[in-house]
Structure 1
Amino acid sequence: KIRSWRGTYIPPIKIQKVEVLSTDQLATGVIALAKGLRVIATLFLLYVWLTAALGIFPWTRGISARLVEAVLTTFTAIGQAFATYVPNVISIIIIVYVTRYILKLISMVFTGIERGTIKFSGFHADWAQPTYMIVRFLVMVFAVIAIFPYIPGSQSDAFRGVSVFLGILLSFGSAGAISNIIAGAVLTYMHPFRNGDRVKIADTIGDVMERTLLVTRVRTIKNVDITIPNSMVLGSHLINFSSVAKEQGLILHTAITIGYDAPWKTVHALLIAAAKATTHILKTPEPFVLQTGLNDFYVTYEINAYTDQANKMATIYAELHQNIQDKFNEAGVEIMSPHYTQVRDGNQTTIPEQYLPKNYQAPSFRIGPFGNFFGGAKDAGTTKGKSKP
């Protein structure tokens, strides 16, 4: 009969679109409840019949009286225990309701701070949500401590032993989680980055997508989401590329090496022109070049340019490198690092032409005595005209 009620009298239980309990599960539960009530009713009727039957005969009336007394004593004890714990239950209900309204009040305050309607000097708006989570946790802990003495059986040794055992398990099992929570709270008030900032945490570079008390989620330029525990974030070297990009500009820099034969002023001009032709490079402050090394065979030039789009670093670098190649090719300047070995004779000097005398000519090759090519070299210590033994 009950199974035929499925879908009609017994609909499924849903939370939005998620089905928590199906009709089959509810029907099975109702059937089990009905069976239990039937067993209880059967036992009750059996008890009534037994006491009535035993009370009919004089020699069994004592047994009937003891059965009635036993049942009454049991229900009396249950009633007295319930009456004893009613004040405690009322106290627990009062504490729960007071805690609930305190949390609502705290939530209203921090929601106002987050929206900017309530302001405190030195308290950032993005601190509101994590601070609310911490305060709510402390209020709930205090409420649990206040409720604990009113819980039935809380004063017994068994209850205390189980509580201590669960506390030890929680302490050992949540050591890592607690360290991450503490690190998350420290990071919240250190304010090293915000959601959307381009950061480098250890070896990971990407945009901060989410920050919680336990983890920080970073999305790389390859659209890979990486979850980093807050304890690792706090213990790692952290670089924020976006922190001052909007106000002062982030300096992007790349280096090339050019031979000494290219005038440095020409190289500077070409690098600056390539930077100015790059999208998202700011016109002011203007790009600038640093010569960071005078090496044995070439000079190291570093172009520095400002941008306010830290999240587009990869594409800006790619376009900047393309523009450097184009500008140098148009000017006829080779991007190469020359190296010389052994012979310099017959090669043009690498000093720029404007620094050379007008009558300068590249030195000619010097060729030793032809006898050297045929094994006829003379030993400096031998006598002229006599061969070396």
Structure 2
Amino acid sequence: MTNRSSFLKLILLLAAALLLLLVAEVAGAQEAPTATPPDLPAQSSAVRSDDGAGLEAVDSAPVVIDGVVLFKVRGVSALPAEKRAQVIADRISALAADPGFSREALRIDESRPGLSVLMAGSHMVMGLTDADARLENIERHILASLFLTRVGDAVDNWRHDRTPATLQRNALVALGSTFVLALIFLAGARLFRKARAFLEQRLRQRIHDVQFQTFRVVRAQQLWGVLNGAISLLWVVVVLTAVYLYLSSVLVLFPWTRGLAGDLIELLLNPLRTLGLGFLQAVPKLAFLAVLFFLLRYTLKLVRHFFDNIRDGTVVMASFDPEWAMPTYRLIRLLLIALGVIVAYPYIPGSQSEAFKGVSIFIGVIFSLGSSSVIGNLIAGYTMTYRRVFKAGDRVSIGSYLGDVEQVHLMVTHLRTPKNELVAIPNSTILNSEVVNFSTLARTRGLILHTTVGIGYGTPWRQVEAMLLEAVARTPDLLRDPPPFVRQTALGEFNVTYEINAYCADPREMFRLYTELHRNILDLFNEYGVQIMTPSYEGDPEQPKVVPPERWYTAPARSPEN
């Protein structure tokens, strides 16, 4: 109860004080106002602001002339410090630009109590109150004298900096600084070129790979790249330093750019200060991310090294095809990276900010909208890999396309047709199509090439089969083991359909072998005077439809003996 009563009493006292202040303000407003300098509010308000019982005081602001800070002034909510400082600076610049004004006209008017007014003849420059003096922790009349001296010096410097002689001298200095900067750039560029050439000649041959037993950790080329990058970074630092020194020394020569020269250091230091503070705050998280990065990187290298050995046959695993090594490595790499991102996400600087979350959501939406077909092709690619549908180099038939598999990617498969055309087929299309692989069994059992002929019933079937087997014997690159064989596939109305089957070891030669086999069949049936009745039959001609040997090489054909 005691604490509650004390709290109520405090509230009542504050309310009474606020009421008294309001009454005083109304009474002051009804009285005739005195002349108040337009660069600051009424004296009583300024004093009350400093005491904390009236309007809340705002931060101070510097009065700047040609980039030089003369002094600082304070403000209140009715007249901000920045606006007051700008008004005072404009008045001082106007006095300096007036040729009829002399420094001796500056004086201090102490006629009003609690207020010191800096006058230039009959014109007011600024007014000082006790609150301004307390800002500098000095007596008001002493502060007024100091401010009066600074204003006089500012006027003299303003005029001196704009005299023709001073401008000409500073322009020559600026021109000389520009010439020196150009010489520094030329000499520095030449020096750095020589340094890079010297290091490349003396050190590059001595840099070797960093490896642990047979495992290569860092390549020599990477080490040389780091050294070369360090040299380039050093040159960039030298260039930036020279440019900064040049700008800071040249801009300060002229009154119009002197303020910019003073801001150069702030332009550089403010971002660096912000980055530095943010970096210091993020050091623990960055250390964790660095450890996680290197751990994940070398884990991926070890996994890659393991699967490379499986692919090369150094490591043999039962029921695991060496062709699965790289696709499996890619899957494991994706899982490890995803796990690393999940672990690292809370430690990424700014990951908890709304902007970061918004960008993450936006990227996720874009990825989900545009990746449906991509994900389908990826899944189809891995499905084909583990199903052993085909591999690079196989001759396959996919839908209406027939050719040799050039490359198998996760998204598409490249097929080279016998016409030397490169066809890119999406893996999702392959997964939904019939695939005929001519090469898988051809490596062990051979691929059977077959063709059919129709021969009349008047020709003995033993003769026909013998001629077909002889045609196979005359065709090079057709296998003798397993032996070829003939099948009678149909007894038609007018002819018997024979099918010759022969084995070949290379499916990529199937078109050439078919051509050679057909040529030999035509030659043999012509030699023995047997008419081929395929594809249709209407009646027996007077003469058998055969080509006699003397007409085999009718022009423009040439005999191989010639």
Calculate the TM-score normalised by the size of structure 2. Answer: 0.50
**Structure with more contact order per residue of length (Cα contacts < 8 Å, sep ≥ 6):** 1
Assess, with a 3 A threshold, how the Cα gap between structure 1 residues 35 and 113 changes in structure 2: closer, same or farther: closer
1:280 aligns with 2:451: no
Residue 31 to residue 88, structure 1, CA distance change in 2 (3 Å): closer
List runs of 5+ in structure 2 lacking aligned partners: 1-181, 197-220, 222-231, 256-267, 544-562
Give the aligned residue type for 1:214: M
Residue aligned with 1:226, SS = strand
Give the 3 Å change call, closer, same or farther, for CA 8–339 of structure 1 in structure 2: farther
5 Å-filtered alignment, 1:254-273, equals: 254-273=451-470
State how 1:343-358 maps to structure 2 within 5 Å.
Answer: none
Partner of 1:122: 319
Tell me if 1:161 matches 2:358.
yes
Q: How does 1:320-339 map to 2 (within 5 A)?
A: 320-337=517-534, 339=537
* 1:253–1:302 contact (8 Å) kept in structure 2: yes
The one of 89, 104, 108 equivalent to 2:301 is 104
Q: What is the deviation of 1:38?
A: 4.4
Q: Deviations over 1:57-96 (max 9, x none)?
A: xxxxxxxxxxxxxx99998776543322110111111110
Change over 3 Å in CA distance of 1:7–1:278 after alignment to 2? farther
In 2: Cα distance, 1:300 partner to 1:219 partner = 34
Q: Distance in 1 between matches of 2:269 and 2:528?
A: 109
| 2:422 alignment counterpart | 225
Q: Percent identity?
A: 41
CA deviation digits over 1:27-81, x for unaligned, max 9?
9xx899957984698679999xx9xxxxxxxxxxxxxxxxxxxx99998776543
Distance 1:323 1:4, change over 3 A: farther
Q: Comparing 224-233 with 35-44, which one deviates more in the overlay? A: 35-44
From 297, 311, 333, the counterpart of 2:494: 297
1:116–1:125 CA contact under 8 A, matched in 2? yes
Query: Is the Cα contact below 8 Å between 1:276 and 1:287 reproduced in 2?
Result: no
* Counterpart in the other structure of 2:332: 135
- CA change 1:234–1:264 in 2 (3 A) is same
Distance 1:199 1:46, change over 3 A: same
Q: Structure 2 vs 1, CA of residues 248 and 31 (structure 1 numbering), >3 Å: closer, same or farther?
A: closer
Structure 2: how far apart are the matches of 1:210 and 1:149? 40
Pick the aligned partner of 2:290 from 86, 89, 93. 93
Q: 1:54 corresponds to which residue? A: none
**Structure 1 residue 294, shift from structure 2 partner:** 2.0
How has the CA–CA distance of structure 1 residues 83 and 347 changed in structure 2, closer, same or farther, with 3 Å as cutoff? closer
Q: Secondary structure at the match of 2:496?
A: strand
Q: 2:538 aligns with which of 340, 344, 347?
A: 340
Give per-residue Cα distances to partners, 1:247-291, cap 9 Å, x unaligned. Answer: 212111011112222222221111111112211212122211112
Shift of 1:328: 0.4
Equivalent AA in structure 2 for residue 340 of structure 1: E
Alignment of 1:357-372 (within 5 A): none
User: Alpha carbons of 1:4 and 1:293: their partners in 2 closer, same or farther (altered >3 Å)?
Assistant: farther
Task: Summarize the Cα distance change of 1:275–1:105 in structure 2 as closer, same or farther, 3 Å threshold.
Answer: same
Higher helix share: 2
Give the SS at the match of 1:123: coil
Which amino acid in 2 is paired with 1:184?
A: G
Unaligned 5+ runs, structure 1: 17-26, 51-70, 349-389
Q: How big is the shift at 1:340?
A: 3.3
- Change in 2 beyond 3 A, CA 1:72/1:103: closer
* Partner Cα distance (1:164, 1:40) in 2: 45
In structure 2, the residue matched to 1:57 is none
Per the alignment, do residues 225 and 261 of structure 1 end up closer, same or farther by CA in structure 2, a change over 3 Å counting?
same
Are 1:176 and 2:361 an aligned pair?
no
Number of residues paired by the alignment?
315
Evaluate the alpha carbon distance shift between residue 265 and residue 220 of structure 1 in structure 2; reply closer, same or farther with a 3 A threshold: same
User: In 2, Cα distance between the equivalents of 1:329 and 1:207?
Assistant: 36
Q: 2:440 aligned with 1:240, yes or no?
A: no
Distance 1:74 1:318, change over 3 A: closer
Query: Structure 1 residue 201 and structure 2 residue 427: aligned?
Result: no
Decide whether aligned partners of structure 1 residues 276 and 4 sit closer, same or farther in structure 2, where only a CA change above 3 A counts.
farther
* 1:14-163 superposed matches below 5 A: 38=243, 79-163=276-360
Q: How has the CA–CA distance of structure 1 residues 173 and 39 changed in structure 2, closer, same or farther, with 3 Å as cutoff?
A: farther
- Structural RMSD (CA): 3.9
Offset of residue 173 of structure 1: 2.1
SS across alignment from 2:414: strand
**Whole-angstrom CA distance in 2 between matches of 1:78 and 1:249:** 69
SS at match of 1:127: helix
